[in-house]
A = this chain, B = another copy of it.
């Protein structure tokens, strides 16, 4: 199952090369992950109050074609893998059918102490739906 978020490219996202600045794709895919969790009824703030946070551990990102101002983009998110304390998410940024950017993101579940924590069973059930 994949989750799609649509977003628009604004001035703030571009740089003097006239294209989306490379760091901003990480913002786009984080928006995608936030909306994916929301759609699964996973409340990041409630988890934080329980002392659980998600932290990005690794990103592998391929920049295939540039997005430009005014583009309407789709961020596609899919759970790729999970272990007791981390999940791996595959994400793409598309313009129509064309993949512009692709990333694999490894996310750890951490306790307030900063130590790895087990993903709550209910959360895993949600994610693997």
Give me the interface of A with B, judged by CB distance under 8 Å: 8, 10-12, 14-19, 21-24, 26-27, 30-31, 34-35, 44-45, 53, 55-63, 66, 68-70
A26 to B101, CA, bound (A): 15
Q: Is the interface of A mostly helix, strand, loop or mixed?
A: mixed
A6 to chain B, nearest CB (A): 12
Number of copies of this chain in the oligomer? 4
- The verdict on A21 contacting B11 (CB below 8 Å), with A62-B58, A69-B45 known, is yes
Residues of B within 8 A of A19 (CB): 16
Q: Is A56 touching B22 in the complex (CB atoms < 8 A)?
A: yes
Besides the known contacts A11-B34, A57-B63, 13 further A-B residue pairs in the complex with CB atoms under 8 A apart: A10-B34, A11-B16, A16-B16, A16-B18, A17-B53, A22-B26, A22-B59, A23-B23, A26-B26, A44-B69, A44-B70, A55-B63, A58-B62
Q: Is A60 touching B63 in the complex (CB atoms < 8 A)?
A: no
